[in-house]
Amino acid sequence: MRPSLICCLVTSAFAIAAASPGFGQEPAKATTSDVVVYGGTSGGVIAAVQAKRMGHSVVIVCPEIHLGGLSSGGLGWTDTGNKSVIGGLARDFYHRVWKHYQKDDAWKWQKRSEYGNKGQGSAAIDGEHRTMWIFEPHVAENDFDELVTEYDIPVFRDEWLDRKSGVTKANGRISSIRMLSGRTCSGRMFIDATYEGDLLATAEVDYHVGRESRAQYGEDWNGIQTGVLHHGHHFGAVKKPISPYVVPGDPASGLLPRISPDPPGNFGDADKRVQAYCFRMCLTNDPKNRVPFPAPAGYDPGQYELLVRVLEAGWREGFNKFDPIPNHKTDTNNHGPFSTDNIGFNYDYPEASYERRREIIKEHEVYQQGLMHFLANSPRVPADVRAKFAEWGLAGDEFVDNGNWPHQIYVREARRMVGKYVMTENELLKKRPTPESIGMGSYTMDSHNVQRYVTPEGYVQNEGDIGVSTRGPYEIALGSILPKKKQCENLIVPVCVSSSHIAFGSIRMEPVFMILGQSAATVASMAITEKIAVQDVDYSKLKERLEKDGQVLNFAYTYTGKAGIDPATLKGIVVDDEKATLTGNWGNSSSTGTWVGREYRHDGNKSDGRSTARFEAKLKPGRYEVRLAYSHNGNRASNVPVVIHHAGGDEKVVVNQRKVPEIDKLFVSLGEFDFAADTPAVVTISNQGTDGYVIIDAVQWLAK
């Protein structure tokens, strides 16, 4: 179901401006360079800078007027995860932000001492190269503009790829791309840095839109998420169930606006729906800089009737994502069951025509501006809520050429390439190794809501919101930014990367796009130098160059917790749960007892046989004692089935994890077994028929 949209054109994200550099000048209509970057996102700018640093000519041609994408479009409360794995030019960008806020004139509306050191990196880690991860939109945009000026990178703005016939391609290579204006950009390498993946699609590279099923890539968290309630962005977070009908409880009266009449689908199945978009507003409560929320043309207070019911039910979390950035401003994001996310109104955006996208963006603008005006002014809103929202407004010194409204809609997900390698939750959760790392991510696998529907009980519910920890940083594969070689040999895609929906939920963070932009340009530059396809770049040489340029490609954990034991300090061969092959749902914990590594995992007391863990080691032939580590507790299972695969076959042992392990209160012996060179040493643990929590932590093999 796609709700009807208000069909009118927008200028916010698609305004008309001259090319840069040289606003007001009529530039040449054809350019030739070594590298062509299509898209002015943060990843696009960083890619262009890296190409220039490696000695190649480069241009940015982009639909945007303002460089930086979401990083300059309102997302100033940076989603970072583990900051220590953000390196290279991405980290340099956040150093530039830090330097800006060391200037006295950067603090126009607020004293620096009042804001404090929010969002600043550690001096112990950064040294003189300090970082700041929270910033105002115009500060980020200035930094991106300074970068292209410093590196003398031509930027052609307000240029739209001809998506029908604008890619000239022969023998698996793009030679040039043509814009709707007639401008052509010829090059040896091309980088698609758009949020939408328009260049990769026009070049006839495979891509996917929507959620894959759980089964497609063997994932637990993909597909339709009915019954999964994570962030409180659902109607279960309200104190009482909410009726979706115009007359509460009466289906014959019809549905309220912004609720789908369609069934949501089955848990774990694939669909073509896309997670919700919004604008990341920059708001202020400083009267000297505050612009009252306008009532947009087309404002309809009836669109917010469902919100009225939520507020009447007692919900009061409207300010939970007014994240403070400098100068009495916010990066305001979606929060709650009815908020800035325009759920269900963007399904056709990824593949839509430019005109249709303008309509969708305008509808989002009217919805969100109307929402804020409604909250601050409507007598339907409870007085306590209305009074608080009336204290806020748009920041008068941000987005000054667009009515103080963000110029970039938050395209959380559009097309995703299906390339040489597909990143899935299995790589992010370290269930299997990632080949040829070109950078790291670490943020939660995060998807916003996808649909709002009526439950069988006759209540309204949101679906799709999910947040799953990656349990620390993970590597991102080189193959995930490369198309299949047979489809294109000189295109690289650092934004719409080859990944599943749930994996992209973590990869899609702005610092990661910058990391991948730098790596993409490095691949492009090396392919040019070697005169080879991007898929043929020697990874060992690439790795050397990336690390030389400050990229972080892997992460060595340090064990500083009160109970975590570094497996490297233990005798014999030890395989931690981080290295085990897992199926089913395993939660992570470090709350009880002693454990190996950063943490241990548990099955959630499911006892359904769906959760298994396979620990495998390479051993020299001989006899070994096999030990199992677990954190004991009275709520553990007393009958955990463990199977040891050895030279003589399989041995089943039942472990009582309620008992204190007899070896250092950490390990229990599973027995002694012979292992041959041609027989893998494997220990498998299951939760089949268990009577409590099953714990997996580590397996140890000790030669006898």
Alpha-carbon dihedral sign for residues 690, 695, 700, 704: negative
Average pLDDT of 329-345? 97
- Rounded CA gap, 620 and 624, in Å? 10
Q: The tokens 């040896």 sit on which residue? A: 188
Expressed in angstroms, the distance from the first to the final Cα of the chain is: 65
| Residue with more model confidence, 121 or 175 | 175
| Residue with more model confidence, 510 or 5 | 510
Q: Are strands 451-454 and 416-417 parallel, antiparallel or unpaired?
A: unpaired
Radius of gyration over every alpha carbon of the chain, rounded to an integer in angstroms: 27
Q: Do 38 and 62 touch, CB atoms closer than 8 A?
A: yes
Q: Do 193 and 37 touch, CB atoms closer than 8 A?
A: yes
Chain center to CA of 3: 26
Number of structural domains the chain divides into = 1
Q: What is the largest CA-CA distance in the chain?
A: 80
Q: Is residue 694 part of a domain?
A: yes
pLDDT score for 320? 93
Q: Do 79 and 546 touch, CB atoms closer than 8 A?
A: no
Average pLDDT of 567-571? 92
SS (H, E, C) 30-49: EEEEEEEEECCEHHHHHHHH
Indicate whether 413 pLDDT > 90: yes
- Could you tell me the pLDDT band of residue 641, with boundaries at 50, 70 and 90? very high
Q: Helix (H, G, I), strand (E, B), or coil: what is residue 209?
A: coil
pLDDT score for 558? 64
pTM of the model: 0.84
Q: Is residue 400 part of a domain?
A: no
CATH number, domain containing residue 610: 2.60.120.260
Q: Is residue 540 part of a domain?
A: no
Integer CA distances (angstroms), 59 to 20, 45, 491, 495, in order: 11, 10, 15, 18
pLDDT tens-place string over residues 291-322? 999 999 999 999 999 999 999 999 999 999 99
Alpha-carbon dihedral sign for residues 534, 537, 541, 547: positive
- Could you tell me the pLDDT band of residue 598, with boundaries at 50, 70 and 90? confident
**Taking the CB of residue 261, how many other CB atoms lie within 10 A of it?**
11
pLDDT score for 560? 56
- Could you tell me the pLDDT band of residue 561, with boundaries at 50, 70 and 90? low
Structure-block tokens of residue 414: 């559009």
Give the contacts of 233 (CB within 8 A, at least 6 positions apart): 334, 335, 336, 337, 339, 341, 448, 449, 462, 465
- Rounded CA gap, 455 and 647, in Å? 54
Owning domain of residue 661: 564-703
Indicate whether 9 pLDDT > 90: no
Q: Is residue 653 part of a domain?
A: yes
pLDDT score for 2? 38
- Rounded CA gap, 271 and 140, in Å? 36
Which segments of 328-447 does DSSP mark as H helices, in order?
354-377, 383-389, 425-428
Q: How many residues does the chain have?
A: 704
DSSP 456: T
Q: Helix (H, G, I), strand (E, B), or coil: what is residue 154?
A: coil
Q: Is residue 619 part of a domain?
A: yes
- Rounded CA gap, 193 and 199, in Å? 9
Q: Is residue 686 part of a domain?
A: yes
Q: Is residue 629 part of a domain?
A: yes
Half-sphere exposure of 324 (CA within 13 A, CB side): 11
pLDDT tens-place string over residues 182-202? 999 999 999 999 999 999 999
Give the contacts of 105 (CB within 8 A, at least 6 positions apart): none
pLDDT tens-place string over residues 242-295? 999 999 999 999 999 999 999 999 999 999 999 999 999 999 999 999 999 999
List Cβ<8 Å contacts ≥24 apart for 179-185: 179/61, 181/29, 182/29, 183/27, 183/29, 183/30, 183/31, 183/61, 183/156, 183/159, 184/29, 184/30, 184/31, 185/30, 185/31, 185/32, 185/33, 185/36, 185/38, 185/59, 185/61, 185/156
Angle of helix 88-100 relative to helix 137-150, nearest 10 degrees, comes to: 120
Q: Is residue 688 part of a domain?
A: yes
Integer CA distances (angstroms), 541 to 32, 126, 546, in order: 27, 27, 9
Integer CA distances (angstroms), 212 to 220, 267, 466, in order: 11, 12, 15
Burial of 200 (0-12, 13-18, 19+ CB in 10 A): buried
pLDDT tens-place string over residues 474-511? 999 999 999 999 999 999 999 999 999 999 999 999 99
Average pLDDT of 609-628? 93
pLDDT tens-place string over residues 359-405? 999 999 999 999 999 999 999 999 999 999 999 999 999 999 999 99
Q: What is the DSSP string of 232-271?
A: S-SGGGSSS----EEETTEEEEEEPTT---S----TT--B
Alpha-carbon dihedral sign for residues 380, 383, 385, 390: positive
